[in-house]
A = this chain, B = another copy of it.
Amino acid sequence: MLDATSSYNPMDRRIPVDDRTGQHIVAETARRSENRYGNRPTMKDVAARAGVGLKTVSRVVNGEPGVTPDTERRVQEAIDALGFRRNDSARVLRKGRTASIGLVLEDLADPFYGPLSRAVEEVARAHGALLINGSSAEDPDREQELVLALCARRVDGLVVIPAGDDHRYLEPEIKAGVATVFVDRPAGKIDADVVLSDSFGGARDGVAHLIAHGHRRIGFIGDMPRIHTAAERLRGYRAAMEDAGIPVEDAWMSLGVTDPQRVRKAAEDMLSGPSPVTAIFAGNNRVTVTVVRVIAERGRPVALVGFDDIELADLLQPGVTVVAQDAAALGRTAAERLFRQLDGNLVTPERIELPTRLITRGSGELPPAR
């Protein structure tokens, strides 16, 4: 957790105390900051104003039966007059469910995760739950920190896009009843529901597509193989090459490369060595974008297939051929499975794999440069 740069420190609020007397210092400012929830009215206040009992207010607020219209009206008036709003924190404490679920992903700013998150939110909304988002920034420690913070809030369920590869820390939580679904990458070292895209098959098909168009020297640029999707896509690449009987040279593969600078260098190296590649398979959307730039700058056409669709890919010259995965479907599927767990329809953990789709737009159909 980063250091707070200010005095807002919600989880460690100390009330100033006079050293000698032990009395609280209730100066005006201190009093204000001490007012929990800024002095919001409670059901007790509403009850007092309406001249009824506490429980009657509760009944009105929750639409429970057994309140005469006249009483209900009086209570409602008091509620409006005071601007009362039920405190769901207390409600949660009493009821045991928070009606909220957590989503831990890599980076909300990544165009792949926006739609995924939105899809999860929609499903949550249909079940009356709110969504708490957290970005792990691909850091396993931060992932764990986030997940545990969400568990401390007692979210009813968790959708996790893993950054780390060991999720045993979640075992007590799952045992305690926190519904959990992993998305995009499988959980590490525990048995849990997983919703994935078919990275292996998608990559294999994409590379096979290049091979079918006459390429033999095909480069692969992808993320660190410790990331499951990256490893699977690499495996797909190798499988396609092997199926075609093409031995892969080390110089054709660049792994663990993700920031634009290094992707750029990797692409340039592949394209300019003694036996340059004639086509590149890009392992994810960010890599694809950078490779498109490099190719555009070089002038000479190079075939390209990318994993993940990217916006405007169809408008480039040539259009970018991609292996598309449906981020929204991933999120929706995962969330639906989560709520099925919460409904108690517990089946054994399952691995759901969604198909990918090859979208041909031109760049993947270029013949090898001679």
Set of chain B residues within 8 Å of A36, measured between Cβ atoms: 95-97
Q: What 0/1 pattern do residues 61 to 103 of A give for CB contact below 8 A with B?
A: 0100000000000000000000101111111110111111000
Quick one: copies of this chain in the complex? 2
A38 at the binding interface (Cβ < 8 Å): yes
Answer yes or no: A117 CB below 8 A from chain B CBs: yes
A272 on the B face (CB < 8 A): no
Evaluate contact between B111 and A10: CB separation under 8 angstroms. Answer: no
Q: Which residues of B contact A129 (CB under 8 A)?
A: 8, 10
Q: Are the C-beta atoms of A85 and B152 separated by less than 8 Å?
A: yes
Q: Is residue A151 contacting chain B, with contact meaning CB distance below 8 A?
A: yes
A328–B311 CA distance with the chains assembled, in angstroms: 20
| Cβ of A178 under 8 Å from chain B | yes
Q: Are A35 and B130 in contact (CB under 8 A)?
A: no
A6 to B338, CA, bound (A): 12
Contacts A5-B126, A35-B177, A311-B312 hold; do A108 and B98 have CB atoms under 8 A apart?
Answer: no
Decide: B39 and A126 in contact? CB cutoff 8 A.
no
Contact across chains for A90 and B87 when beta carbons are under 8 A apart:
no
**Does A148 sit within 8 A of B, measured CB to CB?**
yes
Give 4 A-B pairs besides A89-B93, A109-B118 with Cβ atoms closer than 8 angstroms. Answer: A39-B176, A85-B173, A88-B153, A89-B92
The contact sample of 21 A-B pairs, CB cut-off 8 A, is A2-B126, A7-B343, A8-B128, A10-B95, A10-B128, A13-B97, A37-B96, A39-B177, A85-B173, A88-B154, A89-B92, A100-B153, A107-B118, A108-B118, A109-B114, A109-B118, A109-B328, A117-B133, A131-B133, A289-B311, A311-B311
